[in-house]
Structure 1
Amino acid sequence: MKLDPVSLRLFVSVVEEGTIAAAAKREHIAAAAVSKRLSELEELLDSRLLTRTNKGITPTDAGLSLLFMARSALNNLNEIVVQMRDYSHGRRGSVQVLANVSAITQFMPGLIQSFMALYPLITVSLEEQQSLAITKAVAENRADIGIFTRLPHGADIEVFPFRTDRLVVLVPSGHPLSGRESVSFSETLAHDHVTLRSGTHLNFQLIKAANDLGRSLKIRMEVSSYDALCLMVQAGVGVGIMPEGSVAIYKLNGARAVNLSDDWASRELSVCVRSRQGLSSAALLFLDHILAPPLVPPVAAE
């Protein structure tokens, strides 16, 4: 005979109810079956667990000790069921997300905050990667969801529209372009540039745009993040091109953003998965959350 949850539950019921008859009624089982289970339990544990009197049943010292352990064990078993059901319904789990720097700085903090408020038992792992690396990793099932700047790729993935952003030119105070409301990309090519490192989509985009004009991009410095780009521009190293939404999160006392007038300055960010049908419940909840239309603040009545 092995210790089983049914015997423990019946034992707890007998102690709590005070009689076998009351415990049998509570558990919807015959009184004789309850009595047999208790006898077998005492035999298995080689301990007298209950004292039977005309007034009912009371636990022995060994029985009291077992009562506390049995309640804890039954609670743990019930918690297993609850947590497994949470996984099956997507209320518990983990999601691996890759995103490029533009998505992370502009959109992901608010989306992750609102998602975690709805699903506090789901863990979101967010890692920054370059756009091409993101599509490749998702296709190879090394991440659940990817968010990247839309570009040609050969990955076998499903792609969904996410957000749009617009590039602006960040210029130091006192720079020849700092007094302008908008400039074309060709006008910036006469000046030194601070860009994201080689291999990023934005770096590629700027070099391609310069080549299309038959010009070259004068890269004075490459950096690994938008905050470093802003610092270098403020220090007067050169001008920088970055998303307007990313500029807004930095305090720029020594620089200002100027609109970039070229059509390609408006960019599409996309979400990709290997297969929507193959996502876990938790990952599918996250996907639906970030693809939902953004809330528009209500217009105040005049």
Structure 2
Amino acid sequence: MKLFVRVVETGTIASVATREHIAPAAVSRRLSELEHALGAQLLVRTNKGMTPTAAGANLAVLARDLLDSLDDIAVRMAEYSDGRRGLVRVLVNISAVSTFLPPIIRSFTATHPGVNLQLQERESLAITEGVAANVADIGIFTSLPYSADIEVYPFRTDRLKVLVPDDHALAVHPSVTFADTLDYEHVVLRSGTHLRLQMLTAAGRLGKSLRSRVEVASYDALCRMVECGVGIGILPAGIAENYRLSGARALDLDEPWADRELSICVRRLDALSPSARLFFDHLRADV
């Protein structure tokens, strides 16, 4: 098609052969094969050179459109090869998606509009296993023991707080221990979250049980429940700061396990797609 268009544009086989570095006989043979394949005469040979027939003129228009489309494909594929276009699959836990990620995603999508991010919320252990199984390119989880074959990098740190209603007995204290909270009803996250497991483990070490009146699926619901006086709750400091609650306050949790590390995991950093590597570098930019 390219040779055919060039012949129509120049009117001679010889000039096209020189330009494309191919023998004139080979150009002529390919044009004859094209005419045979399409079952129509495309060019007329005159003393002034090659001129297209009606069929040839129509084919020249179609061929130019085809060649332009092929050029566009090359440009678009180049955008994928350098990361300007692509899909990045990300598994995140509830703490990361509720605090640190929204502004990071906003800035990334603003500078890389051709990259789509597919976020799914999972429990931290499931995130490590999902990344190892190639369910996702990148995972963000609360650091915990894992057995998955992955690479792990630091991301952010957060600290747990105790959220209590303004009129609660604990509200007069700037900080409390976890043991102090176990005398009261808790609003807890759904079963399986890393924080829920931490609380149950800590209660067991103290020889007490965790009294949970209500189980919720999000920190937003937990905050609203506490604000309404349903119980008290434990949550990351960043989330407590995000919700401007008029009827509750956040107290420091005086426990070693109240300081938590959030990490990024990948199967292999050097195996990430260009777009996934761009997002990984963006996540790590401020670490």
> Matched residues in 1 for 2:174 and 2:61: separation?
74
Distance in 2 between residues matched to 1:265 and 1:291, nearest whole Å: 23
Q: Secondary structure at the match of 1:248?
A: helix
* TM-score normalised according to structure 1 size: 0.83
Find the counterpart in structure 2 of residue 291 from structure 1.
284
Match of 1:127 among 114, 117, 120: 120
- Matching residue within 186, 191, 194 for 2:187: 194
| Counterparts in 2 of 1:179 and 1:68: CA distance versus 1, 3 Å | farther
Q: Does 1:224 align with 2:209?
A: no
The alpha-carbon distance between structure 1 residues 18 and 128, as it changes in their structure 2 partners (threshold 3 A), is: same
Structure-2 change in CA distance of 1:30 and 1:153 (3 Å): closer
Give the Cα separation in 1 of the matches to 2:268 and 2:236.
Answer: 29
- Structure 1 position 29, deviation (Å): 4.0
Aligned to 2:251: 258
Report the CA distance between 1:271 and its aligned residue. 1.5
Distance in 1 (CA, whole Å) between partners of 2:12 and 2:171 is 88
Q: Among the aligned pairs, what percent are the same residue?
A: 58
Partner of 2:162: 169
Q: Deviations over 1:241-285 (max 9, x none)?
A: 111112233342332322223232111011122333443343333
- Report which stretch shifted further, 124-133 or 172-181: 172-181
Matched, 1:27 2:20: yes
Most deviating of 266-275 and 98-107: 266-275
Whole-angstrom CA distance in 2 between matches of 1:283 and 1:160: 15
TM-score, length-normalised on structure 2? 0.86
Matches within 5 A, 1:1-302: 8-51=1-44, 57-294=50-287
Q: How many residues align?
A: 287
- The code of the aligned residue for 2:254 comes to S
Distance 2:150 2:158 in 1: 22
Matches of 1:290 and 1:52 in 2, distance apart? 64
The Cα shift of 1:55 comes to 5.8
Deviations 1:225-254 (A, max 9, x none): 111111211221011111111223334233
